[in-house]
Chains A and B, each alone.
Chain A
Amino acid sequence: MLNHKLSRRTFLKATAVTTGAMAALGAEGLSLESWQKAAAASPETIVPTICEMCGVKCGILAYVKNGRVVKIEGNPKHPFSNGRLCARGNAGIKTLYDPDRLRQPLKRVGEGKFVPISWEKAIAEIAAKLKELKGKYGPETLVWACHPELIAPWEKRFTEAFGSPNFTGHAPTCYSNRNVAYNVTYGTLPGVDYGNVKYYLSPGRNITEGINNAVVQKIVAARQNGAKLVALDPRLSNFAAWADEWIPLRPGTDGAFLLALIHVLIKENLYDETFVREKTVGFEELKAEVEKYTPEWAEKITGIKAATIVRIAREMAAARPAAVVDPAWHGGLGGMYHNGVQAGRAAACLNALLGNLGAKGGLTFSPGMNLAKEDKLPGPPLPKVTAKRWDGAGGEKWPLAKGLGLIQTLPEVVESGKPYPVKALIVSHMNPVRSCPDSQRFIATLKKLELVVAIDIQMSDTAYHAHYVLPESSYLERSDPFEVAGPTIALRQPVVTPLGDTKGEDEIIKELAEAVGIGEFFNFSLKEYNNTLLAPLGITHEQLEKEGVIKVETTPPKYDKLPTPSGKIELASELMRKAGGPAVPTWEPPLVQPDRSNFRLLHGHVAMHTHTSTQNNGWLHGLMPENELWIHPSRAKELGIKNGDLVEVESSVGRVRIKARVTEGIHPEAVFMAHGFGSMVPTQHLAYNRGANHSLLVPILTANFSGAAAQCEVLVKVKKVG
């Protein structure tokens, strides 16, 4: 007969991944002596730290036993998690203990071929190459690209100390349209008081799948308290499905829908007149512009009935000032279109007409916090960087894209050598081969560079084409600069010792800085950095190690004078006018239009994955191993496609194969696939070649004014395979 009694060996195996060994014992008495002994000999410790399964950075509590993390829970003291975690946060252990993780520095010796190299040698070789390239082409030949995480200030500091202005983030593949739209209207980017909204209109923000933990918690509570939630989306996302109303508009027409709402608010005199008079400029210009944007006009463009548009406008007006259009990530679905800034502007102006800035349930600014500046750090002041940026962000051509960058234009710059030769790229926490449009073109670009260094915890598609891969310790193995989370300061700290020969990025940057001769600008430890900047708050890194999260004093946000040229909300924007754009939001059709022979390709997030970083996580992979192509039954029928069929999707730049999901939940003119699948790295054993990489299909198109990558301006043909 089988013997299933737990031996010590199996116990240790079990506890290696979980506290679940207790399950074997029931709750009516622990019967296994060996378990009791082992448990007694190895007490559980709880370490407060910060999650990095996505970019939100929720506070967590890590339970450690026998030197291994056995459980991760939300930290009840942290305002982003409130003790709760999403699927990805709950799956952190599987990323930490992923057998495919990078464990040592690697040097590329051929296509897909790497050999181990020591840290010392890797740093020395990279530094020598950087110095050589700096001598040949000037320091601006270096671009440092990242998804800005807690270490980002150090990355920027390194780039500037090296003499390059080219520190660049992921904004154009995410929020550039939104940021530009709100910057020119409000002077900054407002947040939303989600917990108190009474009427919430989401222009394409899939709030329950592109998850921000705290926001989900608040919006569920708001709905429970009677708020009405409305989703504008060509696809029945999980948010659209859960919301009170789904408005399945034609893709790329959010701007038209929002402009018609503005038309109704003004025409029916439903807007907040006092607020508009006192807090805004340019109302008459806006009014004149939207005169033509009638609900009937919008019906023809959006496919949504004029009566629905009128009703939504009236409902929003009745709920103001606790009625809000979410600035969202993409400033409206339009954010991924060429017309994205206009859609974002329409949303920004609509919010202003609702008079919701600073109101309960409206738009909010962050509270102020008294942190020291980096000039208080030991060492000389940073040299002034004089070179112009590689991508023109903030310059003559892209004045409004300052601080946002145009990472997707790297191929154009490298191919043309203009404005100057970019020869070196350091990439951290980012996988531009799949997060930027046109993966193949990006890979070809990486091959043209003389030095590519990837800093990551796993072999990303970008790292796979790097000359050097520097393995970072995972979020459970390292510390980082402190986090500002609402009115609190939180700390990421090591929970276990690194499993491999990995380092925190602070160490990597310090060593690299030393080796290229700019060590004097990193003449401090991570602890000293944190303590210097936190000093005015009267708290220390050491306190944070113990407490994890500390509430600090903040100053309430000011709404009386905004950082715009007029100091008010600019319905007619001076900055837009200066940049050569229309001062008031204007309808601009999407750049490309599908016909009966093709579809517009849409993409988006799912709740159980983060970008391209979690597909090799066992639990998350188990929940969703691959993406599917959503296609409407009427279109699928014409093409002879049944649910589950393998189909080929082809655009002007690429072709992928993917399984079809025939569903009523998508606009017939569009197809959709979730982002993040189709890993092209064979050593990612779970993720490799599962599902399709949508970036292979998207051409590089840059939106006006913001420099955003217009990733939904892509037409595809779909056919059944075999």
Chain B
Amino acid sequence: MARFAMLVDLRKCVGCQACTVACQQQWGLEPEQRFTKVEAIEYGEFPNVSRKFVTTQCMHCDQPPCQEVCPTGATYKRADGIVVIDEDKCVGCQYCLTACPYGARTYNQEKGIVQKCSFCAARLATGKEPACVSTCLGQARIFGDLDDPKSPIVKAASQPGVLKVKGTAMMYIPPKGLNRADLPADATFPSYVSTWKGVVQPAGKALLGLTTGAVLLSLMINSVTHGKSDGEGEGRS
């Protein structure tokens, strides 16, 4: 069985946003929906200033919190490691949106569903690389199957300087001067997700109905994640 992963060599990322739009084009996204983003981070004072680029997206967690909170089973992790959303099953409750520690999920207003990076699973099925990989001007993105010795990802992952984001399918080669804290954090399974799974979800289903449950969950998760998520994955500019 395949074990898909992506490595972004940020030394080759020029911040051009080609990946962002290639992805939007591939999936026909609304302008405000971005499955992958390029963040710019500035350090220092004139004239000793630097700006570094970091790409972010769904990390395809080993133990995805989004899957745990999904009430309908729409989000699931495939055997090959890709976390996907079955849009037929998604009811648009957006629990997963708040559960995702990386802010990688988007809500499609028009369709009333949640969407995110699937490593371009449908393209993979036709033998193509993910859209962001095949368009990247600097060839910064390497994608492949860690279990296939012929896959380019195997060689890429063995280079010096590779930083694996623990508990996820993503790796980076950070450029000189980029703080580790400005890359997505290692995955930790948030305790509130277990609480949700064990208590709130059944209670919510039984008593409150999904909508109220969503509000409660959002409030709860927001209160937990605030103050902790700064500098991780999202929220930088």
A contact set with B: CB distance below 8 Å: 1-2, 4-6, 10, 14, 17-28, 31-32, 71-74, 83-91, 93, 208-209, 211, 213, 216-217, 220-221, 223-224, 236, 238-239, 241-242, 246, 248, 607-608, 618-623, 632, 663-668
Contact = CB atoms under 8 A, between A and B. Distances in A.
A27 B125 contact: yes
B88 A24 contact: yes
Contacts of B53: 238, 242
B137 A623 contact: no
Contacts of B22: 85, 90
Interface stretch (B24-32, B55-63, B148-156): B24-32
Contact of B21 (A236, A239, A623, A668): A623
B14 A28 contact: no
Nearest to A249: B47
A664 B46 contact: yes
Contact of B16 (A18, A83, A216): A216
B11 interface: yes
A32 to B, nearest CB: 8
B112 A622 contact: no
B24 A619 contact: yes
Given A239-B14, A607-B16, A622-B32, A20 B26 contact: yes
A25 B87 CA distance: 7
A249 to B, nearest CB: 9
Given A73-B135, A93-B25, A241-B50, A26 B121 contact: yes
A664 B137 contact: no
25 contacts: A2-B91, A4-B113, A17-B28, A18-B29, A23-B122, A27-B82, A71-B25, A83-B134, A84-B136, A85-B18, A85-B22, A86-B137, A87-B18, A90-B22, A93-B25, A208-B14, A236-B49, A238-B51, A239-B14, A241-B51, A242-B14, A607-B16, A608-B21, A622-B32, A623-B17
Contacts of B105: none
A21 B87 CA distance: 10
B78 interface: yes
A236 B51 contact: yes
A617 to B, nearest CB: 9
Interface string B123-145: 01100000000111111100000
B135 A84 contact: yes
A90 B135 CA distance: 9
A224 to B, nearest CB: 6
A2 B90 CA distance: 9
B15 interface: yes
Contacts of A208: 14-16
A216 B137 contact: yes
B122 A22 contact: yes
B141 to A, nearest CB: 11
B87 A242 contact: no
A202 to B, nearest CB: 13
Contacts of B40: 238, 241
Contacts of A24: 86-88
A607 B51 CA distance: 15
A74 B135 contact: yes
Nearest to B113: A4
A18 B26 contact: yes
B46 A248 contact: yes
A23 B115 contact: yes
A6 B113 CA distance: 12
A262 B49 CA distance: 28
A5 B89 CA distance: 8
Given A619-B21, A619-B24, A27 B124 contact: yes
A27 B18 contact: no
B235 to A, nearest CB: 16
Given A18-B26, A20-B26, A664-B44, A25 B122 contact: yes
Given A238-B51, A607-B16, A623-B17, 5 more contacts: A26-B122, A209-B16, A216-B14, A223-B12, A664-B45
B42 A664 contact: yes
A28 B118 CA distance: 12
A211 B16 contact: yes
Contact of A663 (B32, B42, B84, B86): B42
A221 B140 CA distance: 10
B26 A4 contact: no
A627 to B, nearest CB: 15
Given A19-B26, A607-B16, A665-B46, A213 B11 contact: no
Contacts of B87: 4, 6, 23-25
A73 B123 CA distance: 13
Nearest to A217: B137
B98 interface: no
Nearest to B28: A18
B121 A665 contact: no
**Which of B25, B32, B50, B82 has the most C-beta atoms of chain A within 10 angstroms of its own C-beta?**
B25
B20 interface: yes
A208 B18 CA distance: 11
B228 interface: no
A438 B28 CA distance: 39
B25 A72 contact: yes
B24 to A, nearest CB: 5
A32 B118 CA distance: 19
Contact of B17 (A607, A618, A664, A666): A607
Given A663-B42, A668-B46, A20 B27 contact: yes
The 9 A-B residue pairs with the shortest CB-CB distance, nearest first, are: A18-B28, A622-B31, A241-B51, A24-B87, A22-B122, A27-B121, A20-B27, A208-B14, A220-B138
Contact of A71 (B26, B78, B111): B26
Contacts of A74: 135
A669 B124 CA distance: 51
Nearest to A621: B31
B27 A4 contact: no
A287 B125 CA distance: 65
A6 B138 CA distance: 37
B101 interface: no
Contacts of A239: 14
B21 A87 contact: yes
A566 to B, nearest CB: 40
Contacts of B136: 84
Nearest to A624: B17
Nearest to A21: B28
B21 A91 contact: yes
A236 B43 CA distance: 12
A619 B46 CA distance: 33
Nearest to A607: B16
A83 B92 CA distance: 36
A621 B11 CA distance: 27
B15 A242 contact: yes
Contact of B91 (A1, A90, A224, A618): A1
A26 B77 CA distance: 11
**Which of B18, B26, B90 has the most C-beta atoms of chain A within 10 angstroms of its own C-beta?**
B18
Contacts of B112: 2, 4
Contacts of B18: 84-87, 89-90
Given A28-B78, A31-B88, A619 B31 contact: yes
